[in-house]
């Protein structure tokens, strides 16, 4: 893990999960993140999944697609 890449990547992931309009379908490469950094992303992923559940999954929802692919990567 590179110390400079990890905080910016974590911030990018959290921002994309917290903003429905910023999510796109392909998560970035997570290989630079260690368990601690992934743990920092986890609460944002859970919040996004809760919002997706509340509104119901809509086919083509960019946030739902991004969250699903990110969870698969983790």
Number of H helices, E strands in the chain: 3, 0
pLDDT at 48: 93
Q: Is the pLDDT of residue 62 over 90?
A: no
- Is residue 9 within 8 A of residue 27, CB to CB? The reply is no
pTM confidence score: 0.79
d(CA 66, CA 22): 10
- Name the burial class of residue 4, with classes exposed (0-12), middle (13-18) and buried (19+) by CB atoms within 10 angstroms of its CB: exposed
pLDDT at 45: 95
Q: Convert the pLDDT of each residue in 22-60 to its tens digit.
A: 666 677 888 888 999 999 999 999 999 999 888 887 777
């Amino acid at each position: 893990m590179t110390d400079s890449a990890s905080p910016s990547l974590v911030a990018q992931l959290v921002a994309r999960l917290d903003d429905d309009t910023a999510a796109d379908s392909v998560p970035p490469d997570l290989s630079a993140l260690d368990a601690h950094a992934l743990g920092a992303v986890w609460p944002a992923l859970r919040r996004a999944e809760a919002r997706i559940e509340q509104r119901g999954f809509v086919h083509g929802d960019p946030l739902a697609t991004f969250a699903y692919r990110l969870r698969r990567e983790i």
